[in-house]
Amino acid sequence: MAQSSIEWTEMTWNPTTGCNKLTAGCKFCYAEVMSRRLKAMGVRKYANGFELAVHEDELNTPYTWKKSKVVFVNSMSDLFHKDVPIEFIQKVFKVMKDNPRHVFQVLTKRADILLYYDKEGWLEWSHNIWMGVSVENAKVMNRIDLLSETKARVKFLSCEPLLGPLPNMHLKGIDWVIVGGESGRTPRPMKEEWVTDIKNQCTDANVAFFFKQWGGTNKKKTGRMLEGKTWDERPATF
């Protein structure tokens, strides 16, 4: 558990760590870099670097939080990685359901696995579990449709890093869209027209829009203003 500087959440909780690269959005994975750093620092949880690992001892942590929190689940992994046992995922879901005062934001690139588990009836959704998928370019827009088919109560898209336009998204049943540019030493560019088009699609579909950052090599300098304002919209259930 750690406080987070991510603008759309408050803290992170990682019952699993590690992953492997899947699509273009994974190219400069911050979690991979951070895992190596934590391993070098001798942090036990990252003894195997970015290799996938489940952490049973983390399941007790949310029960200790007294004040309501907004929690990004698995910022350092993907809960729906094929090698995470469904039994462990179900334990994570039980923890989230048992702690209704907190909002848990789960994000995956493996929407096919998510939908399969959901259709099998293996996932028990509660109002405080927000389910999201990463959509970095048009090649993976099918993740939106897969997410829409799940029984999640609140559904969101993370279009970060945004690597191309996302025209004509199917936003029916989607509650929230987050957009952000890539940061780091060699960030790939994001065009303003891509962002404004997504914002306009959200407006037309009555979907909350959150603009996280322009990114670049100095994301503090480029900021997060779009069309002269900061966009911090949240789902109506927030």
What DSSP string describes 64-101?
Answer: G--S--EEEETTTB-TT-TTS-HHHHHHHHHHHHH-TT
Which of 152, 16, 159, 161 minimizes the C-alpha distance to 81? 16
CA–CA distances in Å: residue 36 to residues 72, 127, 173: 21, 35, 38
> 1 pLDDT band (50/70/90 cuts)?
low
Q: What mean pLDDT do residues 155-168 have?
A: 98
Task: Specify whether the CB–CB gap between 36 and 68 falls below 8 A.
Answer: no
Calpha distance 187→33 (Å, rounded)? 15
- pLDDT on residue 121: 98
Q: What mean pLDDT do residues 55-75 have?
A: 97
Those residues whose C-beta lies under 8 Å from the C-beta of residue 128, and which sit 6 or more positions away, are 96, 97, 99, 100, 101, 102, 103, 104
- pLDDT on residue 237: 79
Q: What mean pLDDT do residues 3-12 have?
A: 92
pLDDT above 70 covers what percent of the chain? 100
* 74 pLDDT higher than 90: yes
* 16 pLDDT higher than 90: yes
| Stretch among 2-6, 48-52, 224-228 having the lowest mean pLDDT | 2-6
- Going from N- to C-terminal start, the domains of the chain cover 2-230
Task: Specify whether the CB–CB gap between 219 and 183 falls below 8 A.
Answer: yes
Q: What mean pLDDT do residues 46-50 have?
A: 95
* 2 pLDDT higher than 80: no
Largest CA distance in the chain: 49
> 22 pLDDT band (50/70/90 cuts)?
very high
Task: Specify whether the CB–CB gap between 127 and 237 falls below 8 A.
Answer: yes
Q: Which fold has domain 2-230?
A: TIM Barrel (3.20.20)
The answer to whether the bond into 161 is cis (omega within 30° of 0) is yes
* 160 pLDDT higher than 70: yes
- pLDDT on residue 162: 98
Please name every residue paired with 12 in a beta bridge, in sequence order, or none if there are none. Answer: 2, 72
Element (H, E) at 137: none
Element (H, E) at 131: strand 129-134
- Is the full-model pTM beyond 0.75? yes
Q: To the nearest whole number, what is the mean pLDDT of the chain?
A: 96
Please give the single-letter amino acid code of residue 229.
K
Q: What mean pLDDT do residues 165-174 have?
A: 98
Per-residue pLDDT tens digits for 221-234: 999 999 999 999 99
- pLDDT on residue 3: 81
- pLDDT on residue 5: 85
What DSSP string describes 91-113?
Answer: HHHHHHHH-TTSEEEEEES-HHH
- pLDDT on residue 69: 96
